[in-house]
Amino acid sequence: MMEPMPEHSSPAARLHAGVDIGGTKVAVCLARMAPGARLPQILDRLSEPTAKTGPPEALAQQVLRLLDAICERQGLARAGLGAVGVASCGPFVRRAGGIEVANPNICGALAGAATALPNRWTQVPLQAPLAAALGPGVRLRIANDAVAALVAERCWGALAGSADCAYVTWSTGVGVGLCVDGRVLAGKNGNAGHAGHSFVADLAGEAPLCGCGNRGDVESQVAGGALAARLGVDAPALLVAAQQGDARALAEVRALCGLMGRLLYNLVATLDLARISLGGSVFLHHQALLLPLLRAELQRHFPALTRGVELLPAGLGHQVGDYAALALLAQD
């Protein structure tokens, strides 16, 4: 454990906090951003399931509580932090200039009555309550988690040196961060890259309902949070069975990779990408099975666009979420 930091330490010497908000869990880490170091030094980490009950402010309150707990473990007050970076699942909605989260894996009212989530939220406040609690002395940066992961992968991971690239997460949901001509794309509300809600299957009324209210989009077809309802088996069980040689499970996984491959092809064809980094719990836990299938699916489409495009596992691996939040602070 590190020595407690004196309250009068300069902002440059203070620890930074990274917050990773997903549809399944919220993770908070503390790190030292040492000048010249290849990576921030992560000193401590806490995580727990994402809050989905109570008032809409429950998510921001959970983040603050976790920040307090991890700061206490390191012997400092929340106000002693130098900065807090938040990489959150989206989409984002701006209200009075502040970011609120309208994520279908957190907000139970987005798809109408047909939801298993225990709330009737349509969006939850994030930036306003965090900024008010942290105060002007703690710098706060918030970005979509896939965009933040893209920044981290370009800083320290598999996308380093690539000007035309994407980060794609295949997890509870499906998210994308995009960079073209060396510029990370944001969009009017910070939602550029929400390709998980683009359409890959037109099954009319037979298509599964996504938590956002769409039918036939990528997330409703392949996301880890959708498979149990759609196929009757959760993602880990399906993928383990496929890896063990179960023919029916392997056929289902090939179909999933066909749909995810359409998304990857659409990104490459639209943005003329050179490299895509893949992360997320569904992919990273089973990349030996999934990566060859995804590469084959991409390569079978229009070679003039796809020839030479690299599909790579996230260079930061399972820590990409922690480093994503910290990368937002490293850019300032």
Q: Is residue 4 part of a domain?
A: no
208 upstream amide cis, omega within 30 of 0: no
Q: Within a 10 A sphere around the Cβ of 49, how many other Cβ atoms?
A: 10
Same domain, 95 and 162: no
Number of helices and strands in the chain (H, E): 11, 13
Token digits for 298? 């991409």
Same domain, 244 and 305: yes
What is the Cα–Cα distance from 117 to 101, expressed in whole angstroms? 15
The pairing of strands 174-180 and 98-101 is unpaired
State residue 211's pLDDT score. 82
CATH code of the domain containing 86 = 3.30.420.40
What is the Cα–Cα distance from 193 to 90, expressed in whole angstroms? 10
State residue 9's pLDDT score. 46
Same domain, 142 and 196: no
On whether the CB atoms of residues 277 and 157 are closer than 8 A, the answer is: yes
Same domain, 283 and 326: no
What is the Cα–Cα distance from 7 to 240, expressed in whole angstroms? 50
Number of Cα atoms under 13 Å in the Cβ half of residue 214: 18
- pLDDT tens digits, 181-224: 999 999 998 899 999 999 877 655 567 888 888 888 899 999 99
State residue 212's pLDDT score. 83
* pLDDT tens track, the chain, 332 positions: 333 333 334 444 589 999 999 988 999 999 997 777 789 999 999 999 999 999 999 999 999 999 999 999 999 999 999 999 999 999 999 998 899 999 988 999 887 765 678 999 999 999 999 999 999 999 999 999 999 999 999 999 999 999 999 999 999 889 999 999 999 999 998 899 999 999 877 655 567 888 888 888 899 999 998 898 888 899 999 999 999 999 999 999 999 999 999 999 999 999 999 999 999 999 999 999 999 999 999 999 999 999 999 999 999 999 999 999 999 998 65
Same domain, 206 and 280: yes
Host H or E run for residue 87 = strand 83-88
Q: Is residue 250 part of a domain?
A: yes
State residue 315's pLDDT score. 97
Same domain, 193 and 296: yes
Same domain, 309 and 326: no
State residue 256's pLDDT score. 95
What is the Cα–Cα distance from 230 to 260, expressed in whole angstroms? 16
Same domain, 172 and 304: yes
Same domain, 163 and 46: no
Total domain count for the chain?
2
Q: Is residue 152 part of a domain?
A: no
Q: Is residue 5 part of a domain?
A: no
Full domain range(s) for residue 276:
158-315
Same domain, 245 and 326: no
Type of residue found at 29:
C
Q: Is residue 100 part of a domain?
A: yes
Q: Is residue 6 part of a domain?
A: no
- pLDDT tens digits, 154-180: 999 999 999 999 999 999 889 999 999
